[in-house]
Copies of this chain bind each other. A is one copy, B any other.
Amino acid sequence: MALNGTLRPGLVQLRVLDFDKTLNFYKNILGLNEVCRIGEDRICLKGFDEFDHHSLTLRLADEAGLDFVAFKVASADELEKMKLAVEAFGYPVDTVAEGDQPGFGKRYGFTISTGHRFEIYSEVALAQKGPGIKNPDIWNEPPRGMRAQRMDHFLLYGPNIAEAERFCKEVFGMFVPEVCNTPDGNRLAAWITSSNKPHDLAFVEYPKPGKIHHLGFYLQDWADVGNAADWIALNRLKLDIGPTRHAITRGLSIYFWEPSGNRIEVYAGGYTAYPDNPQRVWDSSELGRGLFYYSGEVIPSFLEIVT
């Protein structure tokens, strides 16, 4: 596949309630590395297997939730073209100056139909502690805790996801490997990707705007999913569901809440997606099995709790 367009979700900013228990979770339990701090209220982190400066910023706030998600675009030239395409799609665009987040160049921001702030950027410095590139070991140092490799994807809840899906295809050049429709043919959920991963992001139709269901981190495999569950138990984190498998994306997964109340997924596996493969289509009546393949039933907390 060609190298142009949107590469990946590269930066997420979450709101957290404290830098004590919550930071301990992200660093010592999930296994991210702290990269830098921004003033008194923001801390930047990354997974051990990410090359870029950082991928997650935690901001102190009064309630949990999502500030924005940002996508890396392949070149400065494409960034400018994409900015115009966003505006042509109908969304006003603002500019976040280079250096607002250490290591990141200029970002363009806008709000999509679901009420989420999206950003795009093309410049980001390499991390000092990225994966080795000269005769590299598989890690520079052994992963900690749940051994999260990287920030992987997010599931967003909000209104008018049909437009959000169309935006991702038309402006970001993404494709949609899997969808779920209601009996009357409306889109209930869509899984969307810019790459071989089965999803880089997903949407669920929801009346309130700007909500995040979960932020997903990638693990090596089912054995690491089991290891993550042992860490959840040992640290008395609140489990939502899992270990389980999604029929949708085919991923192996656990959902739980971090200390500030943001739902986190640790995820492994998933099929290899190609844009020329047929789209998988789910009826909403079968969504239980699609989400939780083993039990076939959606648990209420999974559908009802978002931040």
- Chain A residues with CB under 8 Å of chain B are 1-8, 49, 51, 72, 74, 126, 130-139, 142, 145, 150, 173, 175, 194-197, 218, 220-223, 226, 229-234, 236, 239, 242-245, 247, 250, 252, 254, 268-269, 271-272, 274-283, 286, 289-290, 293-296
Contact = CB atoms under 8 A, between A and B. Distances in A.
Contacts of A231: 142
* Majority secondary structure, A binding face: loop
Contacts of A3: 1-2, 173, 175, 275-276
A120 to B, nearest CB: 14
Nearest to A75: B276
Chain multiplicity (copies): 4
B150 A272 contact: yes
Given A6-B1, A173-B2, A135 B233 contact: no
Contact of A221 (B175, B196, B221, B275): B221
A135 B185 CA distance: 15
A135 B286 contact: yes
A245 B233 contact: yes
A245 B226 contact: yes
Contacts of A2: 1-5, 173
B1 A278 contact: no
A7 B276 contact: yes
Contacts of A223: 221-223, 226
Nearest to A297: B239
Contacts of A268: 221
Nearest to A282: B135
Contacts of A150: 272
A231 B280 CA distance: 21
Nearest to A224: B223
A247 B272 contact: no
A141 to B, nearest CB: 8
A137 B286 CA distance: 11
Nearest to A29: B142
Contacts of A233: 137-138, 245, 247, 289, 293-294, 296
A5 to B, nearest CB: 4
B133 A281 contact: yes
A2 to B, nearest CB: 4
Contacts of A252: 226
A81 to B, nearest CB: 12
Given A51-B277, A230-B245, A294 B5 contact: no
